[in-house]
Chain A
Amino acid sequence: MTHAETSLRRAAAMLAGLAMLAAPHGARAAEAWGIEHEKEVKLTGKVVDLLCALRTGTDAKTVDATDCPPDCGGGRRQLGLLTGAGKLHPAVKANADFAGATADLAPYCGRTVEVDGLLIANPAATLLMVQALRTDPKASFVKADRFLAEWARQNGKAEEWFRADPKVKAVIAADGVFGIRGLEPKP
C-alpha cells in the first residue's frame, strides 16, 4: 500500500468516526469505515472470555473450566462474541480511539448482547469492531466507548487519553516513539 493510499484510508476512517459522533442516540450505530472486507453487522451472541471459550468450547459460566476467571477476568482478558450459530468472534476494537472492546463487554460476561458494528472478514483474520451494543432488543443501542470513561475515572480528564496515559508515557520515555532508544524524529 502506498503512502497516499494509507492517508486516504485514514482520512476515510476519521470521517466515519465523526459521522458516528453526530448520530442521534438510539439510532443504528454501525457506520462503514471503508475497510476492505468490512460488513456492517448486528450480531447477537454471548459475551465470552476468548481463552475460556477456546479451551472449553463454551463460556465463563462452565463449572469445571479452569481457565475461566470470574467475570471474564474483570476487564483484563480479551473477550469475544459467541453467536447462536457457534461462531466465535474476537471483539478487538471499541468505538473509542485506540481502544479495545473489553471495557464495554466485560459487564455482560456470560450474558447475551446485540452488537452493532463492523465485521472485518479479512482472510487473514476475521475481527469484530463493537460500535454500540444493547441487551434488550427494545432498548436503544449504547455507544461502545466505556474505555474513555474508565480511563478518565482513573487518570482524570485529557483531550487525548493515549498521549496522556502514564503507562504509554513510560514506554515511550524508555524506548522513544520509534521503539529504538536514541532514535528521534527529525525536528
Chain B
Amino acid sequence: MLATNERHKIGWGGRAAKAVTGLALAAGLAVSGLAGVGSGPAEAAAGRRVQVTGEVVDTWCAVTGIMFAYGTAHHQCAVWCAIGGIPVSIKDAAGNFYLVLRIEEDETNVAAPRLVTIQSHEVTVDGELVERDGVKYLLVTKVADDKGVINLTHEEYGVQPFGN
C-alpha cells in the first residue's frame, strides 16, 4: 500500500507520467501467452476538478438496469455489491455515472469501508474526473455533503432483490 504523500508524486498527465508512457511504448508492453495484446496506445488520462452531486449506487445494478437499483429499496443489495467488490458509482441528476476509484484518504477501492457506509446516500463530492473509453472515473478528494438516504423507494418496490 502506498503512503498518502506518494500519491501526489505524479499529477494527471504530468511529466513523469509522460516519460513513463514513452518508455513503455519504446520498450513495448510485455505480453505472454496470447498474441496481439499491449501494442495499443497508452496515454495517461488528463483529469479535471469537478463537484458532483448524486446518489451513491451499485454500478452494475444501476447501469445494467437488471433490477430497481435506487434508494431505500435497493440499499441492502447495494451494500452486498459494494462489499462483494463491485465498483461504486455516483449517479447525478442528469443520469451520468461516475465510477469512484478513490475516496478521500483510502488507498483501496475494493469494498472500501467509506464507500460501503454511504451506499444509497445523496452526496456532494469534490474530486478529479477522468474520462476514458466510455467511462467517467472519479477520484473523490472530499465528501463535501452527505444527506444520508433520502430516496424513499421501498414503499413501491419493497426490498430489492429477494427480500430481506
A22 close to chain B: CB less than 8 A: no
Interface members, chain A 151-168 (any B CB < 8 Å): 161-162, 165, 167-168
Task: Give every chain A residue within 8 A of B148 (Cβ-Cβ).
Answer: 179-180
Instruction: Look across to chain A and name the residue whose beta carbon is closest to the beta carbon of B109.
Output: A78
Q: Given A44-B34, A78-B87, A179-B149, check contact A55 B10 (CB 8 Å).
A: yes
Task: Give every chain A residue within 8 A of B80 (Cβ-Cβ).
Answer: 98, 162, 165, 168
Q: Is the interface of B mostly helix, strand, loop or mixed?
A: loop
Cross-chain contact A124 with B95 (CB below 8 angstroms): yes
Interface code B128-143, partner A: CB below 8 Å = 1, 0 otherwise? 0010111111010000
Cross-chain contact B133 with A126 (CB below 8 angstroms): yes
A142 to chain B, nearest CB (A): 14
* Bound CA span A165–B116, Å: 13
A85 close to chain B: CB less than 8 A: yes
Number of A residues whose C-beta is below 8 Å from B? 85
User: Which one of A75, A88, A167, A185 contacts B154 once the chains associate, using CB atoms below 8 Å?
Assistant: A185
Task: Give every chain A residue within 8 A of B160 (Cβ-Cβ).
Answer: 6
Q: Given A122-B63, A183-B72, check contact A54 B37 (CB 8 Å).
A: no
Q: Given A112-B33, A112-B38, A127-B60, check contact A56 B17 (CB 8 Å).
A: yes
Interface size class of B (residues with CB under 8 A): 35 or more
Cross-chain contact B154 with A178 (CB below 8 angstroms): yes
User: Which one of A99, A137, A168 contacts B33 once the chains associate, using CB atoms below 8 Å?
Assistant: A137
B120 close to chain A: CB less than 8 A: yes
User: Which one of A10, A44, A57, A168 contacts B83 once the chains associate, using CB atoms below 8 Å?
Assistant: A168
Task: Give every chain A residue within 8 A of B99 (Cβ-Cβ).
Answer: 90, 125
Task: Give every chain B residue within 8 A of A67 (Cβ-Cβ).
Answer: 2, 6-7, 10
B50 close to chain A: CB less than 8 A: no
Cross-chain contact B135 with A126 (CB below 8 angstroms): yes
Interface code A32-74, partner B: CB below 8 Å = 1, 0 otherwise? 0101101000001110001100111111011111110100010
Task: Give every chain A residue within 8 A of B139 (Cβ-Cβ).
Answer: 51
Cross-chain contact A55 with B17 (CB below 8 angstroms): yes
Interface code B29-54, partner A: CB below 8 Å = 1, 0 otherwise? 11111101111111111000000000
* Bound CA span A111–B39, Å: 14
Task: Give every chain A residue within 8 A of B96 (Cβ-Cβ).
Answer: 124
A110 close to chain B: CB less than 8 A: yes
User: Which one of B33, B72, B108 contacts A73 once the chains associate, using CB atoms below 8 Å?
Assistant: B108
Task: Give every chain A residue within 8 A of B12 (Cβ-Cβ).
Answer: 55
* Bound CA span A183–B158, Å: 12
* Bound CA span A83–B35, Å: 11
A-B contact pairs, 7 of them (CB 8 A): A88-B133, A88-B135, A92-B87, A112-B34, A112-B38, A167-B116, A185-B154
- What 5 A-B pairs are tightest by C-beta distance, nearest first? A86-B40, A100-B85, A126-B134, A179-B75, A178-B72
